[in-house]
Every structure is written in structure tokens, then in C-alpha cells.
Amino acid sequence: MRAEPAVWTTGAVVLGGLPFLLSLFQVVQLTVFMAFCLLALSLDLIWGVAGILSFGQAAFFGVGGYAYGVVGINSGSTTLGLAGAVASAAVLAALLGYFTFYGRVGAMYFAVITLTVTLILHQVMGSTAGPRYAIGAARLGGYNGMTNIPSLALELPGRTPSVLEPVPLFYVVGGLLLVVLGLGRALVRSSFGRVLRAIREDEGRTELLGYDVRWRKLLTFVISGGIAGLAGGLFAGWGNFINPQVFSLSQSALVVIWVMVGGRGTLYGAIAGALVVQWLTNYLGAASVTYTSVLLGVALVVIVLIFPGGLVPAVGRGLGWLVERPRRALAVLP
């Protein structure tokens, strides 16, 4: 915990230096990976810290992306678009959270309900082909998706907006990631975060100690939904495009896999997990969507059965054991 300022400084320096070391293509790629990191972070906040598994993060991500597109196309302002992305995802999370947390729906049911909402959004957005389905000037476009979404632009008062080039965009997304990570860490370490961890460990006992868990869960869920919405907005602004695929089962699974690979509850782990998995997916050459889905599925089963604590922590422990063993062996010798 004490080491965090050092971690921040290193993070900022690495982030600042990366564009000078990488090719333009890699910078662009890493930008979208960082948007995914935000999404992974949002799940880790609600799942890793508060212990509430939400399969709905992909839904918030997608809603954020669509909201960014709708607001961005209609108002011409991408800053407003991002605000709309965060707000709409947060509102959806608030609605869903109110009915489930205040209805005291069990944790398993909650997970299933969030998944259901995601799948239904997939079908609903898929059925919006045709010009009838438009919000203002923004066509929703059914399974083909929404196109012509404006790129993120720098909007300062009194100056004409200028579209961000890849490297400045990289800094913006990276900066947002660092800021959200910092705020998230602060939240986790605050007294509110302690109560969240107490809820994760034993909800009934936390209530008996006099904490109202319902609004705390709701608030955390709304924050987490907002972060996922921000990630979705950045994603749509990065690629100028969004389609219902973001609501698909494999996309929802991917978010969970990122966090599982990275290990739960630290927020750093989620980011590491997202980067590792996305890099691996790219490295494996994304041979075809079908193979990816088989690999993802098998990976999920294997991780659950063999490394329930997360892949990165398991590798860390394995390395620690390798270092520890010779040392112990030496200590015994004379």
C-alpha cells in the first residue's frame, strides 16, 4: 500500500514514454486496450471489491458506446457524448440495481439477471435495422451497427474543436485510465471501501453491524456502470463504430475472463488481465472468431477448475516458490 505513489509515478512515466517506443499501429492498438482496461476495472470494482458478480458490464459498455454515438452525432460535441455515455450507463445501472438490491435478490440471481439484460439488449439493438429506428440524426442500424460516430476531439472554450491524433488520443485514454484507477484505489482504501469488502466477506454480518448494505451496493454498482459506460464511449470514439456484438455472450465472458486472469480485488490485476488476454488474443492471430470462442470457453473452464484465484497471481506464486525453494535448500545446508 505504501508503494502506491511510486507505482503511480512509474505508471505515468511508462505511459508517457510508450508512444516514443512503439509503432503508430501499436499505439492505436494499445489505446483501445486501455479502454478495455477501464471496462475490466469496472467489473473488478463491483465483483472483486464488493463481491457482486455482474455479467452486465458489457451491457453498460455497449449502452455507453451507443449513447456516445447518439449524443456525439446529434450535438457534434464529443465531450457531451462522453458525458452522455457515463450518464446513460449509470442510469441503467441505477435502475437495475434498485430493483435487484432493494428487492434483496440473491447474488446468483443478480448475476443471471444482469446477463439476461445484456442478452436482451443484444436482440433489441439487433432489431433496429431500418431508418425508422433513429434518435435524431443517429441511425441505430440493427446488426450492422451505428456508423459515422465522431472521433474524440479536443474541445476548448473559444476554439474550434480539433480531432485528436492517435498519440494525443493515447494520452487522453491513458490519462483517464490512470485517473479512474487512482479514484478507484482511493475508494477501495476509504472507509466506504472497507464496508464494501465487509459485504464481500459476509453480507449478513455487515448488516448486523448496522450498515445499510443496499445503498452501498447500489452506489458501487452505479459507479461501476458509469466507468463501463465511459469505456464504451471511448471505444466508440476510437473506432467510430459500434454494433450489437458488444452485448454478445462472448463479449460479456471476455470481461469476466480479464478479471479472472488478473485476480480479483486489487484493480491493478484487472488491468494486467485485460492487457495480457488482449495481447494474447492478438498474438494468436485471431485466426477466426469461432476458434477464439472455443479457446475462450476452454480457457474459462480451465481457469475455474485449476486456478480459481486468478492466473497472474498463480504465476506470481509459482515464481515466488521457484525463488524460495533454492533459498530454503541453501539455508538448511550448513
Partner 1 sequence: MDLAVVTAFGIVYAIATLVLLALGLAVIFGMMGVINLAQGEFLMLGAYTVLLATAHGLGVWVGIALAPLCVGIVGLLVERAIIRFLYGRMLDTMLATWGLSLALVGIVTLVFGPTTEGVATPLGFFTMGRYSVSYYNVFVVGVTLAALAVTYGLFNFTRAGLVARATMQNAGMVAGLGVNPAWVYMGTFAYGAALAGLGGAIMAPLTGVVPTLGLAFIAKIFITVIVGGPVILLGTTTAGSVLGFVESVVSYASTPIYGQVAMLAFAIVLLRLLPQGISGFWRRGV
Residues that bind partner 1 (CB under 8 A): 53, 96, 99-100, 102-105, 107-109, 111-113, 115-117, 119-120, 123-124, 127, 249-250, 253, 256, 260, 290-294, 296-305, 308
**8 Å CB contact between 57 and 221:** no
Nearest approach, Cβ of residue 290 and partner 1 (Å): 5
Nearest approach, Cβ of residue 242 and partner 1 (Å): 19
Residue 109 vs 192, nearer CB to partner 1: 109
Question: Which phi and psi angles does 108 have, rounded to 5°?
Answer: -65, -45
Query: Is residue 288 exposed (0-12), middle (13-18) or buried (19+ Cβ within 10 Å)?
Result: exposed
- CA 276, chain centre distance (Å): 14
Residue 78 vs 251, nearer CB to partner 1: 251
Nearest approach, Cβ of residue 25 and partner 1 (Å): 28
For residue 20, count other CB atoms closer than 10 A to its CB. Answer: 8
**8 Å CB contact between 43 and 220:** no
| Alpha carbons 82 and 84: distance in angstroms, whole number | 5
Residue 105 vs 172, nearer CB to partner 1: 105
Residue 127 vs 148, nearer CB to partner 1: 127
Nearest approach, Cβ of residue 298 and partner 1 (Å): 5
Query: Is residue 194 exposed (0-12), middle (13-18) or buried (19+ Cβ within 10 Å)?
Result: exposed
Q: Which helix (H) or strand (E) holds 138?
A: strand 138-139
Cell of 161: 474543436
For residue 107, count other CB atoms closer than 10 A to its CB. Answer: 12
Nearest approach, Cβ of residue 327 and partner 1 (Å): 34
Nearest approach, Cβ of residue 188 and partner 1 (Å): 20
Residue 99 vs 279, nearer CB to partner 1: 99
Amino acid in position 68: Y
Residue 12 vs 95, nearer CB to partner 1: 95
Residue 107 vs 137, nearer CB to partner 1: 107
**8 Å CB contact between 247 and 61:** no
Nearest approach, Cβ of residue 250 and partner 1 (Å): 6
